[in-house]
């Protein structure tokens, strides 16, 4: 390990959000962890401590993006439309210090084994990374031949993904879906993992009905079933708000801007008596953005970036006047709590030193991951192996 990462470093005069607003504080970091924070003026220095002054700049937890196509997605218009692997610099310059990778429509030319290799590569390059087994279809593609074994035995696998209410799904029946979710749940218990099931939501009129069928015919807790892309259709979003009021989590996609843009979706949830703690935000980064006509024919395709996470945060605070400590929750603590990572998503003693330094307009100045500076002046100073 780099010796400099073990040495203590004191960040003075930070306007600290943990994500709660702590006011002007000094933040002490060592060994890749948060050691302490105290109001400015309280001496928390250690021998050999490097000192940096932030002059009141905002410091907040790094973003935890739980829906990224790390090895690419797409392919809906043929092999030439397969999106490429993500580069480390694209993640860190967007403020992402923790990430969960997954497969998309293409579970045929892309494989969980390759996704696991990419997940390990990103961890080696400096950020925290995990993955979901499975893809759009059922039975799920896995590494060991079993959802349960993947989650219980492979350290980086924390759950499973499939697609429902979408013309690209495999049209699984209730028994298949319930069995998948139950396997993930039990494997999570055995492997001390979250054991979640993430459901890509399409625009079908069935909406969340397949998830409710799982709840009706099994005992899988509602908190282990996550519908994502819920802002892609107004009726779907209304159903998602009901699901969250009933105790579930919902995941809003920051790269979907119509019919409900992500900032407006979060405000609608808040105003609709949905606990903000049940709402998460993810980018769907590096995934394809296909457009289909009413007959299911592809009419265009693009690729999702990562800047939409920060853009959403800025819109929530600047345009919707949501306090920053609340606006941060769907990108930080809420995600970590849903995935069962107590050492992520917040700045507290013992947590990983994953944090952002923001300017007055909430633009990213610096990114630190596990105590290592990754971005300076909004430019990546640590890049992937082949960048």
pLDDT tens digits for range 83-104: 889 999 999 999 999 999 999 9
Mean pLDDT of 113-119: 98
Give whichever of 115-129, 276-290, 292-306 has the largest mean pLDDT.
115-129
Calpha distance 311→345 (Å, rounded) = 19
pLDDT value at residue 295: 73
Helices (H) then strands (E): counts for the chain: 11, 19
Query: Using CA of residue 298, residue 302, residue 305, residue 311, what is the dihedral sign?
Result: negative
Residue 236 has pLDDT above 70, yes or no: yes
Residue 237 has pLDDT above 90, yes or no: yes
Residue 373 has pLDDT above 70, yes or no: yes
Q: Assign 357 to helix, strand or coil.
A: strand
Burial code (b: 16+ CB inside 10 Å, e: under 16) for 25-62 equals bbbbbbebebbbbeeeeeeeeeeeeeeeebeebbbbbb
> How high is the mean pLDDT of the chain?
94
Mean pLDDT of 33-46: 88
Annotated catalytic residue within 13, 284, 352, 354: 284
Calpha distance 355→60 (Å, rounded) = 5
- To the query of whether residue 173 is one of the catalytic residues in this protein, the response is no
Cis amide linkage into residue 61, ω under 30° from 0: no
Calpha distance 41→122 (Å, rounded) = 38
Tell me how far apart the 2 most distant CA atoms of the chain are, in Å: 68
SS in 3 state form for 173-233?
Answer: CHHHHHHHHHHHHHHHHHHCCCCEEEEEECCCCCCCHHHHHHHHHCCCCHHHEEEECHHHC
Mean pLDDT of 176-184: 97
Q: Which residue has the tokens 């944090």?
A: 355
Triad 147, 106, 212: Cα angle to 5°: 55
pLDDT value at residue 3: 45
For 241, the enclosing helix (H) or strand (E) is: helix 234-245
Residue 290 has pLDDT above 60, yes or no: yes
Mean pLDDT of 5-27: 93
């Amino acid at each position: 390990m780099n010796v400099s990462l073990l040495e203590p470093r004191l960040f003075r005069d930070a306007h600290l959000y943990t994500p709660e607003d702590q006011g002007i504080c000094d933040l002490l970091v060592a060994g890749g962890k948060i050691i302490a924070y105290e109001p400015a003026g309280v001496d928390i220095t250690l021998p050999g401590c490097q000192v940096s002054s932030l002059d009141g700049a905002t410091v907040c937890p790094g973003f935890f993006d739980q829906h990224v196509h790390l090895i690419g997605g797409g392919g809906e218009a043929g092999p030439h439309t397969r999106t490429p692997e993500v580069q480390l610099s694209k993640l860190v310059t967007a403020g992402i210090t923790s990430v969960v990778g997954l497969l998309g429509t293409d579970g045929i030319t892309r494989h969980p084994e390759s996704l696991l290799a990419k997940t390990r590569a990103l961890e080696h390059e400096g950020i925290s990374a995990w993955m979901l087994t499975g893809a759009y279809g059922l039975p799920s593609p896995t590494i060991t031949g079993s959802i349960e074994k993947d989650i219980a035995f492979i350290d980086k696998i924390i759950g499973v993904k499939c697609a429902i209410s979408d013309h690209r799904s495999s049209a699984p029946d209730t028994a298949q879906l319930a069995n998948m979710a139950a396997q993930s749940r039990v494997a999570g218990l055995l492997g001390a993992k979250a054991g979640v099931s993430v459901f890509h939501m399409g625009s079908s009129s069935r909406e969340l009905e397949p998830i409710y069928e799982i709840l009706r015919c099994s005992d899988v807790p509602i908190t282990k079933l996550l519908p994502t892309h819920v802002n892609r259709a107004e009726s779907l979003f209304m159903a998602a708000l009901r699901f969250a009021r009933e105790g579930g989590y919902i995941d809003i996609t920051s790269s979907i801007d119509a019919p409900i843009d992500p900032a407006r979706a979060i405000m609608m949830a808040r105003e609709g008596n949905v606990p903000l703690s049940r709402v998460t935000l993810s980018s769907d980064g590096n995934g394809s953005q296909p457009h289909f006509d009413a007959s299911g024919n592809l009419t265009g395709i693009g690729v999702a970036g990562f800047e939409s996470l920060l853009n959403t945060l800025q819109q929530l605070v600047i345009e919707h006047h949501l306090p920053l400590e609340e606006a941060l929750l769907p990108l930080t603590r809420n995600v970590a709590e849903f995935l069962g990572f107590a050492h992520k998503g917040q700045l507290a003693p013992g947590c990983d030193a994953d944090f952002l330094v923001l300017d007055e307009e909430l633009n990213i100045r610096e990114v630190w991951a596990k105590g290592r500076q990754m971005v300076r002046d909004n430019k990546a100073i640590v890049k992937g192996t082949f960048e």
